[in-house]
Structures are given as structure tokens and as C-alpha cells.
Amino acid sequence: MDRSNQHKVKPYLMTRSLLPENQETPIQFIKGDIMDNKLFYRRNHFHYPTLSYSNYRLPINGMVSKSIMLSLQDILQLPSKTIRVVLECSGNKRSLFEPKVFGEQWDKGAISQGYWKGVQLSTLLELSGIGEGAKEIVVEGYDFGERKDLNRVFSYARSLPIEKALHPDTIIAYEYNHQPIPFKHGYPLRLIVPQWYAMASIKWVKQINVIDSNFTGPFQTIDYVYYPNKENNNDAFPVTTINVNSTIQKPLDKEILNTGKDVIKGIAWTGKGFIRKLEVSVDGGITWLNTKLEPTKNTGYGWQYWSYEWTISKKGEYKIMSKATDSYGRTQPKIPFWNKKGYGYNAIDKINVKVE
Amino acid sequence: MDRSNQHKVKPYLMTRSLLPENQETPIQFIKGDIMDNKLFYRRNHFHYPTLSYSNYRLPINGMVSKSIMLSLQDILQLPSKTIRVVLECSGNKRSLFEPKVFGEQWDKGAISQGYWKGVQLSTLLELSGIGEGAKEIVVEGYDFGERKDLNRVFSYARSLPIEKALHPDTIIAYEYNHQPIPFKHGYPLRLIVPQWYAMASIKWVKQINVIDSNFTGPFQTIDYVYYPNKENNNDAFPVTTINVNSTIQKPLDKEILNTGKDVIKGIAWTGKGFIRKLEVSVDGGITWLNTKLEPTKNTGYGWQYWSYEWTISKKGEYKIMSKATDSYGRTQPKIPFWNKKGYGYNAIDKINVKVE
């Protein structure tokens, strides 16, 4: 027997915590436009919920013309669309803030992309009708648990302003990469809100509620809020749109290279428009070089691969940086926008390598 | 169908690189004295080797009374012993050095423990006899590849001084945790050198060679050498015995806790004697408290679990530290011994938590 063929070499999720399960993607090893479920980062607030699928119904209530209750069968029969979407945890790259912030120490892999298929949320809201004076759509998940800071049990729930809820690409999804959504990612139904950080894309959708006020759940008023000051909560504002960002996938930070030809490559993404330019620097930001954006048929709300052919002629240490600019002219800052809870990190990405 | 029971939550290896495969254990989630193969860290210098097992033979050559060639069957029939051993990569915790060093950025999980069963290397050397003037025993693995720095292909091979080779607990192992050694960890035979960093415990043993000189292979004269100066190679000395060390497993670094009772726990290990004392500090090293060392029947060369019941009465930020002392009086230093290639990190372990 030759067992030497049995040694597949593959990356795994990187475990941050198990209860709740928070594991991140080894983003440096990801390629292609479909991410394997096994490498899709997992971000939870609570234990996994228990759902009964046999009599699953989705209620739409509140300020509606008529309350309705949809079966999965009902939803599958409605017109659908499929969109390529980046889901990025707003805490992605949190570990890079200086000074350090507390909370899950995500490195660069709390991000995914894939194809989500579902029905437009606006289609569902047309069925129920939206009452006059309606202001926000609250979506609640089946996941719940105690918040020790408030000493009370909460479901995971958040609202969207009407305009965002009615955006044609805000969908209630039932497929991920042409398969039923994996349980850990929200089976049977997940709200997908392209261009917003992924705390908005609620898993295991339990109900939809139309309200005429501003929703004040803790996952909107306490968490997922930018607090720019360490000592107080002044100037706070909510986390919504994904910042323009990029990540170097290759080489690895602190990698030892040799002289000759090498390739620097990575991904870039934004929550507004599309990536227009990706520059790299191999001299710590003194000079910037344009990279090749990989042509894609339909990037949609996905990320953009980029690469740069680097000819290394001299030994020594190099600081490599990547800087994305989107079609709205937003560009990655040199210094991250520090905030107490560590959301939305998007400073110019950087790594160090040594050439021997 | 209720799919909610299908969501097992488990930790995975953390991927550092894939070619060669270097993946580390999420050490904060490990308990018990047997480590699952799936979570055993993987550290390679080259691609995995291809071996033919059907006619596997182990040759013992060089300055011996007579060259011999042993089949696996021969080896399995010799007297055996089983020992509990910590294998720690000498680069474990490399990422913690300041200033940063280049190379694989291991966090705290390039360490394992388990039960290794095999035959004493001294028993094999008795069969061949050791010639007069013999000085070192060279063990070569089946793994090989190009070293770009030397522009040549090398096998992974290292030597042991005769005394260490003849130590009664230096074995040629064929079982790990009562099973044949997993391929990635050295099947069919692995040299196990307790108390030394794991670069000495050569996988996929190909041959044993007795020599009368000092072996000068690059994995002994270039790598696995402490270089204390950044600018030159003065005062270099080889990496051998494991330093006294400890790792906090719980809480996690940057975790947010609540007031009340909590447990601080972790592991401690040493390459000399046994762990005599483990102290923790919750005030950044001002005061030190003795912890409970978990009683074990037979620690052998394994690690020692420890725990401390912490009653948190006040909100705020805390710096938690752990400091091990072994039976030889060796203790973890406050400042790590910096060396250019980043080996043997064993400074007092520390994490920060916030109590809300």
C-alpha cells in the first residue's frame, strides 16, 4: 500500500471562538469566484438556533396592508435573481487596529463571496403592502441568547431603512452557490444586503416586521456603531456601507523570498460602485505602481482580483502595500479610522518580506 | 428534516502555508493528554515524500561493527516502550518576537503532545554495534527538496551526539496514540527525541548513519541555530533543549468578560526535569499568584495543565500573565531572548482582557 497519495494539503478555517462559533477564512489561499462552504467564515452572536423546517413559515407583519405568512414553496415560486456578493464582517481586520481594541481578533479573513439566489425583499413587501408612514423594515433571525450587558435575552434582529429594503438587489436568499444555503450560513432563508457590512445580512430569517419608527435593538444601537472616542460615546454613527478595501494574498507577511520574478496579488472590494484602481508599493509607500485588475465578466458586488509582476533584483527587506480606489473616488487611508469597537478597518494593506 | 443537529462546532488547524504544509494547532481549545491527529500541528520543510512501504527497510550504516538493514517486522519484534512527549517546533511563538523576525509566523500552537511507542534507538545501535571513535548519529528522512540559499537539493537530516542518541527515551517510534503514526507525522518510522525541540524528531526515517565527526548539514549549521545578533552570525549556538514555557489557553487575548467568577487556565512544559510551579498575574506582573497544577498520573515528557480561579470584582482592563518554573529552577524570562531566526521564544505569556 502506498499511503503517500493520501496526504491532501488544504487550508482550514481559523478558529477564533467556539461558543458562539467564530471562525475565519484563510483568505490568502482563496481564489476563484465561488468560495467553498467549508472555507466560508462563520460569525455568530449566539448558539446555533433550532428550527423546525417541516412547517416553516415566514410572517410579514406590522404596518402592512395585510399580514401574510409565506411557505418556502410560496417563496420559491416567486421571480428570483442571483447576485454575486461580498459579505464582509464589519470586524474584519480588527486585530490590526492600534491601539488594540477588544472583541473577536479577526485577521483579514472575515470576508467571503459567492452567488446568492433569492427573491427581492421588495417583491415580498408588495405582497403584504407597505402601510403609510412605514419607516423601517425589521428582520429577525431565529438565533437568540442572553446579552450579559443588558441582562436580557434578545433575538438577533436589525432594521433597514425602507429605501435600502426596496433596493432591487436586497433579497431574501434561499440558495448559495446553486445549493440550498448551508445551515451555518442561514438555511432556509437569509436576508442578503449587498454593499453593507454583513451584520445586516440576517441568517435564519424568522419574521419581517414593518415599523413606523427607528428600531432600537442592541445590535443596532449598542453594537455595529462607530464610536470614535475611547472615553465616551460622542459622535457615534451606525455601521452600514462597506469601505473601499484590499488585501494582499501573496506573498505572506514575513515571508522569505529569493531574487528574481515574483507575483504580488490579492483582492479589492468596495461597498460603493466598483474598484477602479489598485496600486501597490514595494518601497513602503514612496512610489506606487498600477496593477492589473483581473478581467471578470460580471463582478457584481463581488471582489476584484489583482496582480503585479515584481522583479526583485536586490536582497533586503521590503514593505509591500496595496491601495484600492473605487469609482466614487474613495481610497484606502494611510491611517485607519480608529473606533472603540473596531469596525470598518480599511487602511492601506501592508506586509513585510525579506529577500535573501 | 431537522438539519439543526448537523452543526458540529469544532476547531481546525490554522494554515500558515501549504507548500510546504505548515499548519498550527488552535492551542487554546486543546484539553486532555491525547491530541487528535487532526489538530496535531504540521511542520514541513519540503513536499511530502513518496515512500514505498511494501519493501521498506531501515539501514544502519557508517562506523558500525556491521551494517544492518531492518524490516518493519524486525523492528516491531524488538522490546518497545511508550512515552508521553511534547513535540514543540522551535519556531513556536515566533510571531511574538519584537522586533519581528522573518519566517513562518507561528502563534502559540506549534506544539503537540501524545503517546509515542517504539524501540529505543540504543537497541537498534546495539544490533549494528557502534564503532570506536563514533561521535554522532545522523538520521535522515525521506523528505527532500531544493534549498534556494544553497542552490542544491538536500534531504532533511540531522545528527544527535552519541549520549543523546543512547538516552533510554530516544526512540524510533512506529505508533502515535496507539495507532500507526499518521503519514503526515512520519509513517512508518519517526525518531522521537524527548526534551529537544521537534526539529530533532525526524519523520519518515530513511536511514541511520554513525559518523566520527560533527555533522554539517544545513538543518543544523544554518537553520536551528540561535543567532543573537541581527547584523552578523557571531555567538551562534545550536537549538537543542526545550525552554521552560507556558501558554494561557483561557481567557482568549482581547476577550471581553463580565464580573464574577472566571477561570484562567493553560499549559506549562519544559525540556529539563518537570514543572514545579506556575504563577499567574492579573495585574500585569505586579503580584504573582500560585496556580493549581492539575495532578497527572504520568506526565512523562508531556505538558502540565494548570488553572486559577479568578474572582473579578471590578470592571476595567486586565493584563493576565503566566510564568512557569521547572525543577531545575529555570523560569520564563520577562523579555524573550531575541535571535535572528526566531527560535525558542519562552517569555512570560501574556494576554489582555476587558471586563465590562
Per-residue pLDDT of chain B (356 residues; tens, 9 = 90+): 344 445 789 999 999 999 999 999 999 999 988 888 999 999 999 999 999 888 999 999 999 999 999 999 999 999 999 999 999 999 999 999 999 999 999 999 999 999 999 999 999 999 999 999 999 999 999 999 999 889 999 999 999 999 999 999 999 999 999 999 999 999 999 999 999 999 999 999 999 999 999 999 999 999 999 999 999 999 999 999 999 999 999 999 999 999 999 999 999 999 999 999 999 999 999 999 999 998 876 779 999 999 999 999 999 999 999 999 999 999 999 999 999 999 999 999 999 999 98
Q: List, in sequence order, the alpha helices (H) in B4-137.
A: 72-76, 121-128
Residues of B in contact with A11 (CB under 8 A): 15, 18, 23
**Quick check: is A20 in a domain?**
yes
Answer yes or no: do A251 and A321 share one domain: yes
**Quick check: is A7 in a domain?**
no
- Please tell me which residue, B6 or A330, carries the higher pLDDT value: A330
Sign of CA dihedral B8, A115, A157, A15: positive
| Upstream peptide bond of A188 is cis (omega within 30 degrees of 0) | yes
Answer yes or no: do A303 and A179 share one domain: no
Residue contact B254–A103, C-beta within 8 A: yes
What pLDDT is attached to residue B343? 98
pLDDT at residue A34 greater than cutoff 90: no
> Cα–chain-centroid distance for residue B100?
21
According to DSSP, the residues that pair with B69 across neighbouring strands are: B59
Answer yes or no: do B163 and B250 share one domain: no
What pLDDT is attached to residue B323? 98
**Quick check: is B104 in a domain?**
yes
**Quick check: is B50 in a domain?**
yes
Write out the residue range of the structural domain in which residue B199 sits. Answer: 14-223
Give the end of a domain, one of A223, A256, A278: A223
Give the end of a domain, one of A223, A254, A274: A223
Answer yes or no: do B208 and B328 share one domain: no
Residue contact A53–B2, C-beta within 8 A: yes
DSSP A10: -
Mean pLDDT of A172-194: 97
Q: Specify the CATH number for the domain of residue A251.
A: 2.60.40.650
**Quick check: is A2 in a domain?**
no
**Quick check: is A230 in a domain?**
no
pLDDT at residue A102 greater than cutoff 70: yes
**For chain A, what is the mean pLDDT?**
95
Q: Please give the single-letter amino acid code of residue B310.
A: W
CA-to-CA separations, A223 to A91, A190, A347, in angstroms, rounded = 11, 20, 21
Opening angle at CA A183, ends A177 and A184, nearest 5: 95
What pLDDT is attached to residue B7? 74
Going by pLDDT thresholds of 50, 70 and 90, the confidence category of residue A297 is low
Return phi, psi of residue B4, to 5°.
-75, -10
Answer yes or no: do B91 and B141 share one domain: yes
Number of CB pairs, chain A paired with chain B, less than 8 A apart: 118
DSSP characters for B278-322? EEEESSTTSS-EE-EEPP-S--TBS-EEEEEEEEE-S-EEEEEEE
What pLDDT is attached to residue A2? 43
CA distance linking residue A113 with residue A84, whole number of Å: 7
What pLDDT is attached to residue A6? 57
Residue contact B13–A17, C-beta within 8 A: no
Strand A179-180 relative to strand A81-88, pairing: unpaired
CA-to-CA separations, A94 to A338, B104, B226, in angstroms, rounded = 10, 22, 34
**Quick check: is A70 in a domain?**
yes
Answer yes or no: do B269 and B206 share one domain: no
Answer yes or no: do B32 and B175 share one domain: yes
According to DSSP, the residues that pair with A324 across neighbouring strands are: A278
Instruction: Find which of A4, A107, A250 to mutate to test the B interface (most B CBs within 10 Å of its CB).
Output: A4
What pLDDT is attached to residue A284? 95
Distance in Å, alpha carbon of A40 to nearest chain B alpha carbon = 13
Q: What is the largest CA-CA distance in chain A?
A: 73
Answer yes or no: do B191 and B264 share one domain: no
Answer yes or no: do B219 and B255 share one domain: no
Q: Provide the grid cell at A151.
A: 441582562
What separation, in Å, do the N-terminal and C-terminal C-alpha atoms of chain B show? 41
Contact status, residue B280 vs residue B251, Cβ threshold 8 Å = no
- A256-291 pLDDT per residue, tens: 999 999 999 999 999 999 999 999 999 999 999 999
**How many independent structural domains does chain B possess?**
2
Give the end of a domain, one of A223, A254, A278: A223
Answer yes or no: do B60 and B169 share one domain: yes
CA distance linking residue B111 with residue A113, whole number of Å: 33
Answer yes or no: do A251 and A218 share one domain: no
Going by pLDDT thresholds of 50, 70 and 90, the confidence category of residue A1 is very low
In the three-class reduction of DSSP (H, G, I as helix; E, B as strand; rest coil), residue A74 is classed as helix
Answer yes or no: do B83 and B214 share one domain: yes
Note whether ipTM > 0.85 here: yes
Q: Specify the CATH number for the domain of residue B60.
A: 3.90.420.10
CA-to-CA separations, A79 to A68, A70, A191, B52, in angstroms, rounded = 18, 14, 16, 58
Residue contact B255–A21, C-beta within 8 A: no
What pLDDT is attached to residue B53? 86
Residue contact B3–A50, C-beta within 8 A: no
In the three-class reduction of DSSP (H, G, I as helix; E, B as strand; rest coil), residue A163 is classed as helix
Residues of A in contact with B21 (CB under 8 A): 9
**Quick check: is B2 in a domain?**
no
